[in-house]
Amino acid sequence: MADEVVELGNSVFSEVVELGGSVFPEVVELGGSVFPELVVVDNSVFPEVVELGGSVFPEGMELSNSLFPEVVELSNSVFPDVVELGNSVFPEVVELGNSVFPEVVELGGCIPYVALK
């Protein structure tokens, strides 16, 4: 660990960064999950590696001022990439006629329409 430590609340952190007047630990443990790195998107701080609801998101990208994982698991379906179309975000889409469909989906009897905001 680094020689320099900072106390925030009742916790002691090593290797901290200051963003927008706030101090964040570079390695954060929240709710049993460990976030190795932090990235800044529109003055908000996001972990570069996030575990949410049992799903692991290795990387993040900025889409419409929001941070989306590059690998997304939604309702037991895995989407390797996401793209932005209009104000909606779709995993690996194809355009058929005037409709847009996900290219890779795990079907549960229907084709999901994915819009992340």
Using one digit for the tens of pLDDT, what is the confidence trace for 84-100?
444 445 444 444 444 44
Task: Flag whether 97 is in a domain.
Answer: yes
State pLDDT tens for residues 27-72.
Answer: 444 444 444 444 443 444 444 444 434 444 444 433 333 344 444 4
pTM strictly above 0.85: no
What is the C-alpha separation between 42 and 55, in angstroms, rounded?
Answer: 24
Q: Which two tokens stand for residue 9?
A: 């609340």
Burial (CB count <10 Å: 0-12, 13-18, 19+), residue 51: middle
Q: Which of 1, 3, 6, 30 is nearest to 16 (CA)?
A: 6
Interval 19-27 mean pLDDT: 48
Same domain? 63 vs 44: no
When divided into structural domains, the chain yields a total of 2
Q: Which of 52, 107, 103, 101 is nearest to 81 (CA)?
A: 103
| Domain coverage including residue 39 | 1-48
Same domain? 70 vs 109: yes
Task: Flag whether 53 is in a domain.
Answer: no
pLDDT band (50, 70, 90) for residue 4: low
